Structure 1
Amino acid sequence: MPFNPPLAPRSKGRRRLAVGALVTSLFGQLLAGTAVAAPSDTTPSAKTPSPGRIAWEPCESPSGQGTFECATIKVPVDWKRPRGATIDLALARHLATDPERRIGSLLINPGGPGGSGVDFALDAPDSFSPELLERFDIVGFDPRGIGRSNPVMCDEDRVGAQAELLYPDSASSFAALREANRALGENCRDLTGPLVDHMDTASVIRDMDAIRVGLGEKRISYYGVSYGTGIGQQYAERYPHRVRAMTLDSNMDHSLDNWNYQKTETVAMEESYGQFADWCARTPSCVLHDRDARALFDSLYQRAEAGELVLPGDPPYTVTTQDLQGVAFGYMYDPATWFDFAQFLSDTDAADPAAGRTLRQRGEPTPFGYLPVMCQDYDFNVSSYATLPRYERKLARLAPVTRLNSLAWTDLTGCQDWPTEVTNPPHRLRVDGTPPILVTNSRYDVATPHSWGSNAARQIGREAVFLTYDGVGHGDYWLSPCARDAIDTYLITLKAPREGTHCPAIWPTGPSAQRQSPTGDLINPLPDLLGAGTHR
């Protein structure tokens, strides 16, 4: 699920570092977009775009592995005006390695909003099991406004100006934030065109069904992770009889109001950090093994809050509370990074220049598709600044160590007075008539909490089968061999695990320089595709 925009260079006053830029530096740069292509106009007499069969052409993955084809498909900018302007969506597919036993197409989405489904598909030989690769064409698409599909572009300086204000501490700074949000949204519209007003998930699922038609499939199989589960949930709701199989891994909950969105995310952050602290206490090779990691974070937070957490350098770096929360959030995506996280906390406490070097790293500016989606899918507006400190006090009582969830908080603040309409407002899912849908969630998921997955499964109802991975992290397919096997078996055979199945937690035993997942020889692609901690 989601993006915290990077800040402009730090000011001479109290200097802040945006969560997005910070965590991107830890996990690799975000997906780079292509140049902006203006939507193409059709004449008023033109017929509704009909994709027909997709015209595939051979293409290669960056690794050179696998047999791939690439294509584009034309869809309306506004599905309510199908004869109006159109854009081209980019697609890639990895052809089934056992074509005689091919089941069909498996559409995939890696989340975000902002992750590239094309790159997700190009990573398929390294990221999905040989069994899935044998039986399915793995098909990824860049959703509208993302990656190669007419990316939303915004002025870097306006992105930075907004990011400086995402943690308002007064009515005047809240007013400045609202002004910056509106200016940024209007700038995105100026640079990108009318597509900015049609980035909601309801439009994406219409696009996905056009892809289904173009593939020549009566029914599709689908695997979505993180925000990709929101696409799957709403596709199943609108097109239940066009689903063959669907796995929703690390789930969104599109039914939440503002407070419950903040509450569930913050509780997930606190619980995830608690799991890290407990792991460190029982793991001798953790550098904080002999210390109380909860007390350490609280001490660092209080020092940062007082402006007393300064790292040496030229110039010195004053660590903010937002820095600490953002770094902690990012490291909760995958326990494989916890040895590094423990070292970072130790270095920061000791005022080691190594921590300062980590904090000073910056990601390159990127296209900005995240908020245009989130601000049309959720009504985050609050009536006045007074709501924010009230939320902060309540959240701090729920999460006395970590205080709040940085991603959820900047979703809330980043959408204040955003200039587009909430065209796809939150609602309870109404799914009826699909085959069984496999819903999976980690017990401790900092981006898409376990309560979101269980609530989504309840909303789906009898069609849902809910599986819990009892560990920490985001993206069960790469965290748990048990979950991966259940997902593979279900997608291939349509045999779902028993309702309420639990998969055991897996804990890191030694530092790892690679993104190797515990699921065989697979590589977890999400950190590179999304920038962990900056998207869902």
Structure 2
Amino acid sequence: MADPMSLRRARTFLRGTLAVALAAVVTAFAPTAEAGAHANPQWTECAGITDPDLQCAAVTVPLDHRHPRGRTISIAISRLPATDSARRRGVLLTTGGGPGGPGVPLPSTLAPFLSADVRAQYDLIGFDIRFVERSTPISCGQPVEEPAGYWVRTATPGSFAADSTKARQYAKDCERAARWALPYATTVNAARDMDFIRAALGEDKISYLGGSYAGMLGAVYAALFPHRVDRFALDSPVDPATVWRPFELARTPAFDRGFAELADWIAERDTDYGFGDTAQEVTRAVSSLLDRARTSPIVIAGHPWTAGELGSLIVAGTYYEQYAGLIASALAAVAAGQEPLVPFPIRPVPPPGVAGVPADNHTAVNIAYRCADGPWPRDPRTYLRDLATYGTRYPLFGPANANITPCAFWPPAMDHPAPPTPGQVSDQAPGVLVTGALRDVAVPLAVSRAVAARLPGSRLVTVDARTHAPFPYHGDACLNGAVNDFLSAGVLPASDLAC
């Protein structure tokens, strides 16, 4: 799911029984990067980016890695050179979360948070995964992005038929607008693109830093190309073994717990926000505000605030404890009919100065990857049963997380097996550093812990916070230091570390 932190910063970051089958898949998709990639990218200025030190280029990759001599697409990459050529070790790749978040601007964003030693050793390489923004962007033919770039409909009594109709129509629109691309919008293909980037840069191995979905992408790369892995830091990685329907259902309890923490915080400050002095009163007041917006958007200063937009604000406050005051103030303003102050876009925006990015690009990419990466129920009755279970147990977020999506109607010919999980295909990759927050709502810690457990020799570094992908923006010196130390020296902590 496209998280609000990446919307703010980066619009400026199945299991063992299938091991044999997945090994066969890997053989069928044998690496061809050396044969197909074009070395020596042509570096130029980056359109729409003000950092004069950041350079951009394009790498040509196969649309279908099974047919490397067929149609090709262009992957956009960026480079912030290492600060000390004498100490340069190699490249440190990074990209955005989501899926759907851009990665080209990230080297400039991350550089101030990386130690001098890390900056001296690595060219920072950002890239947009296939079909995002500068990398051969796709559309689902919609005039605007969904709130937070994530297609979701919250079920209400009697709404399932209408929700199903909207989901079916969206799937048809995607097929009509991007049928040529949808079969290839997968994490496995994005990981193979990474290896073409590696080869184009002339590197034998790569290091990598990625959070949330980008952490999962790094884990899949490590499973596919273990001999190409140098120093990988995966921040709150999603577990490839459970994407996407099982993952979204399983994290629903964490969503409700996260909102309960937020409601407690707001209740303690009733004089500031006026939602009530108990968590129950706050929950009722916020639910009432959403019901108002579902009936009719709340128009303030010419902007119609929809239930989806308000819901994305609530998710931001649920994900990030550091946003609590900002989100509470914004909701209170809307409730009072006043214009709220929101310092990040509610809906993703195209990069400035970059032509050709469709109006709905981020949402289109998010849903395309989610629908293709793993199996989804096709029978609408399955979603009704899930709604009955999760909607009752978790009344705040169950009706959204369990509801039907366009993936229920995705063209069957475009289904793909789930991506390989770390440890299924090979245990040759070195240990990686996994970081996370104890009370992460977006990617509960148990999920990231499972990723670390499947990569032998890996270590887990945690911070006691309700936040997501804590490196580097949560600002914990211990956790940030552990990441910088690992990338700099290549030495993992002796044991898991609680910061």
Change (3 A) 1:245 1:121: same
Q: How does 1:109-508 map to 2 (within 5 A)?
A: 109-157=95-143, 166-167=153-154, 169-170=158-159, 172-189=161-178, 194-256=180-242, 260-280=246-266, 287=273, 291-302=277-288, 304-305=290-291, 311=298, 320=307, 322=308, 324-349=310-335, 351-354=336-339, 365-367=359-361, 368-384=364-380, 386-400=381-395, 402-404=396-398, 406=400, 408=401, 413-419=405-411, 421-425=414-418, 428-429=421-422, 430=424, 431-460=426-455, 462-477=456-471, 478-479=473-474, 480-503=476-499
- In the aligned structure 1, how far is the partner of 2:152 from the partner of 2:320? 29
Change (3 A) 1:395 1:498: farther
Structure 1 residue 196: Cα displacement: 2.6
Residue range with higher mean Cα deviation, 293-302 or 470-479 = 293-302
Change (3 A) 1:210 1:453: same
**Percentage of identical aligned residues:** 24
- In the aligned structure 1, how far is the partner of 2:495 from the partner of 2:212? 21
Structure 1 residue 260: Cα displacement: 3.7
Residues 432-487 of structure 1: CA deviation (Å, up to 9, x unaligned):
01111111111222322212111222233x23211222112122112122211101
Match of 1:41 in 2: none
- In the aligned structure 2, how far is the partner of 1:499 from the partner of 1:391? 39
- In the aligned structure 2, how far is the partner of 1:260 from the partner of 1:317? 34
Change (3 A) 1:313 1:326: closer
SS in 1 for 2:398: coil
Change (3 A) 1:294 1:312: same
Change (3 A) 1:144 1:302: same
Change (3 A) 1:490 1:282: farther
Measured on the aligned residues, the alpha-carbon RMSD in Å equals 3.8
Structure 1 residue 97: Cα displacement: 0.8
Change (3 A) 1:290 1:454: same
1:443 and 1:468 in contact (8 A); partners too: yes
- In the aligned structure 1, how far is the partner of 2:151 from the partner of 2:250? 25
2:187 and 2:419 in contact (8 A); partners too: no
Structure 1 residue 199: Cα displacement: 1.1
SS in 2 for 1:107: strand
Alignment gaps of 5+ in structure 2: 13-32, 350-358
Residue range with higher mean Cα deviation, 66-75 or 86-95 = 66-75
- In the aligned structure 2, how far is the partner of 1:77 from the partner of 1:485? 39
Q: Is residue 2:61 matched to residue 1:67?
A: no
Match of 1:510 in 2: none
Q: Which amino acid aligns with 2:418?
A: P
Match of 1:39 in 2: none
Match of 2:2 in 1: 2
- In the aligned structure 2, how far is the partner of 1:276 from the partner of 1:196? 38
Change (3 A) 1:317 1:174: closer
Change (3 A) 1:356 1:297: farther
Q: Is residue 2:79 matched to residue 1:83?
A: no
- In the aligned structure 1, how far is the partner of 2:222 from the partner of 2:145? 34
- In the aligned structure 1, how far is the partner of 2:210 from the partner of 2:248? 23
SS in 1 for 2:40: coil
Residues 78-123 of structure 1: CA deviation (Å, up to 9, x unaligned):
0111111111211111001122111211111221212222111243
- In the aligned structure 2, how far is the partner of 1:338 from the partner of 1:369? 29
Structure 1 residue 413: Cα displacement: 1.1
Structure 1 residue 344: Cα displacement: 2.7
SS in 1 for 2:313: helix
1:312 and 1:353 in contact (8 A); partners too: no
1:49 and 1:83 in contact (8 A); partners too: no
1:154 and 1:188 in contact (8 A); partners too: yes
2:96 and 2:128 in contact (8 A); partners too: no
Structure 1 residue 145: Cα displacement: 1.0
SS in 2 for 1:448: coil
Change (3 A) 1:427 1:144: closer
1:469 and 1:483 in contact (8 A); partners too: yes
Structure 1 residue 318: Cα displacement: 8.2
Residues 368-424 of structure 1: CA deviation (Å, up to 9, x unaligned):
32111111112223412x333432343244435x33385x557x5131211262224
- In the aligned structure 2, how far is the partner of 1:260 from the partner of 1:463? 27
- In the aligned structure 2, how far is the partner of 1:415 from the partner of 1:119? 30
2:390 and 2:399 in contact (8 A); partners too: no
Structure 1 residue 50: Cα displacement: 2.3
SS in 2 for 1:97: coil
SS in 1 for 2:253: helix
Change (3 A) 1:363 1:150: closer
Match of 1:509 in 2: none
1:52 and 1:214 in contact (8 A); partners too: yes
SS in 1 for 2:242: coil
| TM-score (normalised: structure 1) | 0.74
- In the aligned structure 1, how far is the partner of 2:160 from the partner of 2:267? 42
- In the aligned structure 2, how far is the partner of 1:324 from the partner of 1:140? 31
Match of 1:519 in 2: none
Q: Which amino acid aligns with 1:433?
A: Q
SS in 2 for 1:223: strand
